[in-house]
Structure 1
């Protein structure tokens, strides 16, 4: 049985490891760093970012293990206040991991942001553990988000960005009623992620569930 619940600090390590593994093609691009050091750098930066996040973060658990995680972002007035993050020891990190690696990963976490409109709920990320893929978990979570957004008020839209390279993800979102709002090309994201072409998709909340 899967349980969806708000993210808590006690879930931090499991959640960070899940996100790092799910988006390894984006984050594991450091130069001259061992896999262990790449993970440590990611965890330091992700923990700092999460400490002051205004997103509504959720985890999905099975037998007390985090098997999926996602975050939703609304307009500034609707998000939780968030805590003020601790100062990031940027120069110490640069000395340990290399300035290029630190700044690349810092920008990777900062650049994929979207400012939602008043009627919009934006899916910042959705990560599912590898052993849970192909079991309908993604569809179930998207339906939960649809119901959650609809409960926030009528006329809500749920939106997200997805790389054009993620063919399976695009197929899933289309089956769940998402339509392409626009296609976007960012040379900077090509340098940061190796993926320059992205799609902004959206669906009206409260509409039909995901197709089989």
Structure 2
């Protein structure tokens, strides 16, 4: 993963959080590949570059949804983090993202059908269909140079603010995290996420090297204003 333009220190006032746009797809895809890379490499032996290309094509070709979004953080006009959210589709709206044929062709030509099928299987096993009122965090990735500097918390606070003020009647945030990812669990607990249950999946163990997952939630009464008071 490239470290270009990531040498300056983080200044909170200079960090922007924006909806991802096509010109940011490549940088966002690089971060997604970094975040998921060790999982997919467990089963597919894909390079980070191959994964980045796959995620970039997914961002380009997947159908836009009214019940999901992706944002990026910008520092000096460079993408330093990304966050994906989704919630239950409104009645009568299809909640399934249909894989675009152009994406399939582009990715299979680049990495081959076998590896692509393993990636699709891994993505499918990581999917979670939200319940009514649930705002689910699909992924949160911060560039390694910016880790430990509060950027993940900024993204989580943004997600909380969006959830509280959304017109979709959302009442809590949720996410899944690998049980052995103690650093991430500590971060989530510091910002009021609580463990609800722990599930085991032999399939994700085989495909992604992770069998045990905590499901964590953060209720809507914790507002950013309350935390900063």
Does TM-score exceed 0.5, indicating one fold? yes
The residue number in structure 2 matching 1:171 is 186
Is the Cα–Cα contact under 8 Å of residues 201 and 212 in structure 2 kept in the other structure? Answer: yes
Match of 2:28 among 15, 22, 27: 15
Worse-superposed segment, 6-15 or 70-79: 70-79
Shift of 1:29: 3.5
CA shift digits 1:150-184 (9 cap, x unpaired): 11377711000011121100010011111111101
The residue number in structure 2 matching 1:103 is 117
Distance 1:6 1:196, change over 3 A: same
SS at structure 2 position matched to 1:206:
coil
Is the Cα–Cα contact under 8 Å of residues 177 and 208 in structure 1 kept in the other structure? Answer: no
Shift of 1:31: 4.8
The residue number in structure 1 matching 2:69 is 56
Partners of 2:69 and 2:15 lie apart in 1 by 19
Match of 1:140 among 154, 159, 181: 154
CA shift digits 1:105-126 (9 cap, x unpaired): 1122232121212211111110
> What is the aligned residue count?
210
Match of 2:203 among 188, 199, 206: 188
Partners of 2:31 and 2:79 lie apart in 1 by 8
Moved over 2 A (4+): 27-49, 51-54, 78-86, 88-100, 152-155, 208-211
The residue number in structure 2 matching 1:69 is 82
Is the Cα–Cα contact under 8 Å of residues 58 and 103 in structure 2 kept in the other structure? Answer: no
Distance 1:167 1:47, change over 3 A: farther
TM-score (norm 2): 0.78
The residue number in structure 1 matching 2:16 is 3
Distance 1:52 1:92, change over 3 A: same
CA shift digits 1:62-94 (9 cap, x unpaired): 111110111111111199999976314647855
Structure 2: segments with no counterpart, 5+ residues:
1-13
The alignment yields a C-alpha RMSD, in angstroms, of 3.1
